[in-house]
Structure 1
């Protein structure tokens, strides 16, 4: 079993180290600064704590949970680290099989560690890009990140609605990792929901490149120009814009 708790702890420490100048603009999150990213991630952690400790069963969003910050204030590295520590303590104390609300398809406490790890990973990449540092993470982590995202996307209502409005049901997007054993085909289904499967196939549009870059492209953190694209580039651009988390 993957030790997400250790990975969360390591990623939090890494992000905290990067969070020196909170005023630096973050181009991958337009309108945000490093301070906004740190505050967002710390709010996610406090949201997870609230859901798990109270065994919340109904939808609640992160902005509904108190952060302990003055109105309009940014969190800093110490605040981020404190929130992560509280979340890790809560995760350790919670039975993974406990039924709780999530925005994904899995309505158990075990959904939260994996989601919070990839939340941290992507936002650490945001800050590194803002600081001119090339994000690095193992290929197997990127593979897992792609599948975690695809697993959850069909339940993200703020994604399925704009995808439905594209009117591209049946369209396919193929991902092919050039540096790892990873291929996936995404098929646009009814009501904006996607299905996906592993393996080689031909898509309406195909992306081939390092699996890290494929993950960052899916999250709209890197332009499709960072990888090789074959086929319907307009479909890809429209789909990525609509599917953005």
Structure 2
């Protein structure tokens, strides 16, 4: 799958800005507890994101999963490690370009371009986690949030992970997500999840709202009000739980 140059630049811009913001918030205090990730502190967030960056550096280098993994980084200063790795991942993606064959978890995209998108979205979500800890949450860019909605629905939920019925939330419902003029219709049962762009057909429930709200709800970082949903509430709750199974 070819990533257009302008889209690659878009992801790198947000990766730089959101990773810098995460570093800034980290310096407000590492011990602050993260309400969206019970048991984590801001330091936990920084260490996690640093390890994610290091992992992708090795994936891009090897074109395969690194083994053994992970390295022992306990003795490293969290902020120093994070700053080092956030700079390195931008360099590595830029040097790799968007068409380098590599390992990804997507059945349809085995190029380095996949990691441009994934690293930008990984970073903005954990930037939100750190901001929640310090009660200084700033908005997610509208276009990036819309792209994040598409990724979690089409790549994560809509992947071929469910054929063995390995889920605690079989759902068996059709849910539609609508935001900023775009819609995704998700037909989910115990052994499949089919996500179709558009708003055709009947649904059991529909969720609608600003991209920022929907994106953060899908990732379990924000609640939706009753005015932002209609239809079967139980189906909506089970749908969100199913999303959590494939996005943790």
Band of TM-score, shorter chain: 0.7 to 0.9
- Tell me, yes or no, if the aligned pair for 1:103 and 1:156 is still in contact at 8 Å: no
| Deviates further, 221-230 or 128-137 | 221-230
- Tell me, yes or no, if the aligned pair for 1:162 and 1:243 is still in contact at 8 Å: no
**SS of structure 2 residue aligned to 1:194:** strand
| Deviates further, 127-136 or 221-230 | 221-230
Aligned residues: 235
Structure 2 counterpart of 1:110, from 99, 103, 113: 113
Matched, 1:91 2:93: yes
Matched, 1:75 2:78: yes
Shift of residue 133, structure 1, vs aligned partner: 2.2
- Partners of 1:85 and 1:165 lie apart in 2 by 39
Structure 2 counterpart of 1:64, from 58, 66, 69: 69
Structure 1 counterpart of 2:159, from 142, 145, 155: 155
- Tell me, yes or no, if the aligned pair for 1:173 and 1:236 is still in contact at 8 Å: yes
TM-score of the two chains, using structure 2 as the length reference = 0.84
* Partner of residue 204, structure 1: 204
What is the alpha-carbon root mean square deviation over aligned residues? 2.5
- Partners of 1:114 and 1:18 lie apart in 2 by 22
Shift of residue 37, structure 1, vs aligned partner: 0.8
* Partner of residue 3, structure 2: none
TM-score of the two chains, using structure 1 as the length reference = 0.85
- Partners of 1:163 and 1:206 lie apart in 2 by 25
| Deviates further, 85-94 or 39-48 | 85-94
- Tell me, yes or no, if the aligned pair for 1:34 and 1:127 is still in contact at 8 Å: yes
Q: Which runs of 5+ in 2 are unaligned?
A: 1-5
Shift of residue 67, structure 1, vs aligned partner: 5.9
**SS of structure 2 residue aligned to 1:193:** strand
- Tell me, yes or no, if the aligned pair for 2:170 and 2:188 is still in contact at 8 Å: no
- Cα distance change, pair 116–227 in 1 and its aligned pair in 2 (3 A): farther
Shift of residue 60, structure 1, vs aligned partner: 5.2
- Cα distance change, pair 36–145 in 1 and its aligned pair in 2 (3 A): same
Shift of residue 47, structure 1, vs aligned partner: 0.6
Shift of residue 164, structure 1, vs aligned partner: 4.0
Q: Which runs of 5+ in 1 are unaligned?
A: none
